[in-house]
Structure 1
Amino acid sequence: MFEKVSVEKCTSYDKELVKNSLDKAIDEIDGLSFVKEGMTVGLKLNLVGAAAPEKAVTTHPMIVRRLCERLTEMGAKVVIGDSPGGVFNKSYVFGIYKACGLLELEKDFDGKVKLNEDFSEKDAEFADAVSIKTFTYTGWLDDVDAIINVSKLKTHAMMGMSCAVKNMFGTIPGVTKPQYHMRFPEERAFANVMVDLNEFFKPQLYIVDAIDGMEGNGPTAGDKRHIGAVLASKKPYALDVVCADIIGMGIRDVPTIMAAFERGLGPESIADVDIVSLSDGEHIKVADFKRATIHQSIDFSGGGFGNKMKSVLIKLFLQTRPQVKAAECVGCKKCYETCPAGAITMVERNVKGKVLMIPEIDRSKCIKCFCCQEFCPKGAMKVHENPLGKFVSTI
């Protein structure tokens, strides 16, 4: 068995409900046993963009507040941080803090809780990595004694799901993130980048905010979906397997989980996970959770001509790709600026009687990293699926 995963029901972000559920999730696995008086703990959140908490894009501030209460009660100091997509400097990141409802935390904890103001970058070498043996990371992490990874359960166009493992990509400075998509454009290699980062930084505790998650066009422009849970574990891999199972996915749907399994770091299925603290003994599942992409359907086991033909057809036709919905585009050029492959140009188009600069994607250059979709502020860049592929997947 792998590290225990605790799951607690939590129906809303009400202060008392969060306190009760989060405390139970943490204490069931003795999750704060590493905390010593006087130490500094870094809370690595998911702050992918400037979105209000009710949008379910980022880690909810009520989860963060309760963690700060627990840690400061134990005599620790707290630094809260992340590197969103964009420039890694005080002006930009503090705008994210404000939008995400975090600015009040500093004044409410009498200096024991700080929002990160160190925007330095450091270089690292990791000989044991599978993919990312050299990389640049956010320097504030060097000044904390331990890390708690506090993620959000969401869909992700490239990785299937954004949760505990994927959240560590926020240790890479924002404007350099596209470089890693270019270095590792293949899905499996990029998934191993995420695993490598977890193995390098080794957070002491992982918390998942799954009270409200995101389905569909995630991780930033999807639809809020109530899930009603908070989860905790000392390692991310079994934790992500449980989160995937809650939203109807398996390890072959989520490349980061599959990469961990292949490296002997994570379980093969939910059956291999020791789940504790299930509220009322009831397994939490969300029916018909809308995915961003479909991975499992291109990998069929069991042999036979039918399965082989089905696999070949879906590999041919069920290829997702980013595609702009012109009617929702405002011509901000964010996709053009973030595309690591230089596959996007801005061209004039007549949209509802107005001439706008609309992104046009060169399919021969596109590496399907979905950076354009992830960082589109209006959700105008969509994950497009071939209709024929959808039909093939049902036969």
Structure 2
Amino acid sequence: MKRRTLLASGAAAAALGLTGLPALAQDAKTKVGFIFVGPVGDGGWTYQHNEGRLAVEQEFGDKVETMFVESVPEGPDAVRVMTDMALKGANLIFTTSFGYMDQTVEVAAKFPDVKFEHATGFKDAPNLATYSARFYEGRAVQGHIAGHMTKSNVIGYIGSFPIPEVIRGINSSYLAAKAVNPDVQFKIVWAYTWFDPAKEAEAANVLIEQGADVILQHTDSTAPQAAAQAKGDVITFGQASDMAEYAPNPRVSSIIDNWAPYYIDRTRAVMDGTWETHQVWEGIGDGMVKIGEISDAVPAEVKASAEALRDSIGAGETHPFTGPLNKQDGSAWLAEGETADDGTLQGMNFYVEGIEGDIPS
């Protein structure tokens, strides 16, 4: 059903915040809101989510109205922004960062007639769904290329926050690099931000000073690309979006988060009344994770093997976490041929054997 909200007064709005939104008119536009953790022009994570928003507009035309708020801090202020969006008549709200999880749960409980979707989280409700991508699959392809191309055998990784998603990415890329280059070492710098070009550039430069000639990042700006380009002999990979302006070198490939089909599908479900809560975790095979073009800076044989790995992961023939594997402390984790289960991956709080350093608490 298409819905429209009329907010008569401040008192009525406050009441709606406790009781949910009333039934809405059949001929109104469906309103879809997006809460973004960074600016839409970040070139990475938020940029790609906003591309999904624009795809919703293109798909449905004047049947929908989208709204967004960018650079919303993770924490209490997110409650205010989500509440305001619901009171403005949003029928569906996407909250697009892990740190919005508890705030999304809180606001969803106050607006039972609004549908909420939280990216990368694990808490749901009758009107709250979760969705994420298997980014670690793309990290394996990056690690494969990185392991082949490093000359110093030092690969740097810029971590955002020590949450399972980022730890999975570090482990996956390390294992793939180690599989093709037993001498590889990982250096990890935690930036404690999703988007801060100055901090990200500083992290990249620290890693380069430590001997890294390959930089992987789990932060959202293109600053590490620029730092590598200034250095001249360091390669990088686009994060969340293609960052193709830095191709063919230093950016030799990328992970692309393809949210558009999901956003279109879930908007359509609200419009036709079939929306239900769920927990979705899709990867290369589903098209939610894509590997950006591998540039000519990568040797042809490495490009071919990386594409073969991508296709094998997408077909379900290869799992980035396949035993025998130990945890960092040497304790057994996966037996020969055993693959990691989703529950362990979603809560991953340990490094695999071979990675040095501690995970910050």
Q: Please give the TM-score of this superposition, normalised by the length of structure 2.
A: 0.29
**Which structure carries more strand by proportion?**
1
